[in-house]
Amino acid sequence: MKAAMKVIFANNIKWIWAVNLIAIIIFVAGCGSADSPPDFLTPDGGQAGEGPPVNEQLASEAWQQRLVYHVGPVDLPAGTQPMLDQPVTIRFQTDEPIWVTGFEPRVVDADGSELPAELLHQAIISNMHEDNSLCGGGSGGNPIFIVTSMLTPVELPEAYGYPILSTDPIDAQVVFTNPTDKSYAGVSFELTLVARPMNEFTQVSDVKPVLVEPDPCTHEPIKVEPGEFAEKTATYQMPAAGKIVVAQGALQNYGAAVELTAGSETTPFWRAEAELDEAHNLTGLSDNPFSDPKGIQIKQGDSLMLGVTYDNTSDKWIDGATAAAMVYMAPVE
């Protein structure tokens, strides 16, 4: 298997536009009398008491970068089964320290055209310089993103980010599959990191990714018998206090729901239910990802319980069923 090149580009057009906008405002302000402040008009033609507010979204986008990485390409003959023990792997580093504020996954061909999502079974991206807080016996890195065929994009709330240093080795392990009757050549998994540079102008609160799953050390998927309605739970004592600002569920076909329960609560603070097509292929999850800038408070030592259900209405075993939720925790202020 080969790893494809990395493509990096910044959102320079929006930055140039932002600079031009500022220049226009300054020029208009300079046209007034030297003895009086500049006049600003409201949309209806009236005079406003002060200048227009800064467009915070525009200012934020001016610093935005999109770093694109590819894992592949591979050829997938029709009927290719997921090779769980032989993932396609690449390891990369960023050119500079960054704050990751979101990520966008796709499956693409050699020309960058989008391919069916069902060609991806699972992708786990880990920071090899971090320890997995749920795996006490050596973790092999800390997972920071997980993706299944749902290809769920994640955007952190405003002013939050995940820090990646230029010295951090980022490991991507991708399992492809092809359940269709059509063969595909040159298939790659594309991961776009939406990021901002890490400098004195960027004020961001960091988040800690925690992948909650039945086996956090090996990421072993679960097995579901033919015709079985399976309910799986996993409970962990959280090693540090924080607040959960984002939670993203990860299931496979025939998945029914995923939920998280915190502390002594008996009711989940988040539950996402499956959206299936007529063939029981998973097309999405309701309320996924969960996002709350105020966060769900977690004290050190509190429990966090994952609940996952699968409804295997087929007559075949499901051997590689992902059952996980990635949570992003921010420190308590």
Task: Identify the band that residue 27 occupies on the pLDDT scale cut at 50, 70 and 90.
Answer: very low
Domain termination residue (choose one: 190, 205, 220): 205
What pTM does this model have?
A: 0.81
> Do 213 and 194 belong to one domain?
no
CATH number, domain of 285, equals 2.60.120.230
Token reading at 263 = 């502390």
Give the closest residue to 307 by CA, choosing from 245, 251, 228: 251
Domain termination residue (choose one: 205, 233, 266): 205
pLDDT of residue 64: 87
Is the pLDDT score of 165 beyond 90?
yes
Phi-psi region of 227 (alpha: psi -120 to 50; beta: other; left: phi over 0): left
In a domain, 83, yes or no: yes
Cβ–Cβ < 8 Å for 144, 193: no
> Do 101 and 129 belong to one domain?
yes
- Alpha carbon of 83 to those of 28, 87, 120, 177: distances in Å? 62, 7, 11, 8
The better pLDDT of the pair 51, 162 is held by 162
Token reading at 310 = 């699968």
> Does 289 sit behind a cis peptide bond, omega within 30 degrees of 0 on the bond before it?
yes
pLDDT of residue 62: 57
Amino acid letter, residue 73: P
pLDDT of residue 229: 96
Give the closest residue to 207 by CA, choosing from 44, 30, 331: 331
> Do 246 and 106 belong to one domain?
no
In a domain, 51, yes or no: no
Domain of 298 in residue numbering reads as 207-333
Is the pLDDT score of 262 beyond 70?
yes
Is the pLDDT score of 49 beyond 50?
no
Give the closest residue to 190 by CA, choosing from 103, 251, 118: 103
In a domain, 47, yes or no: no
Domain termination residue (choose one: 205, 221, 237): 205
Is the pLDDT score of 12 beyond 60?
no
Count of domains for the chain:
2
Cβ–Cβ < 8 Å for 212, 268: no
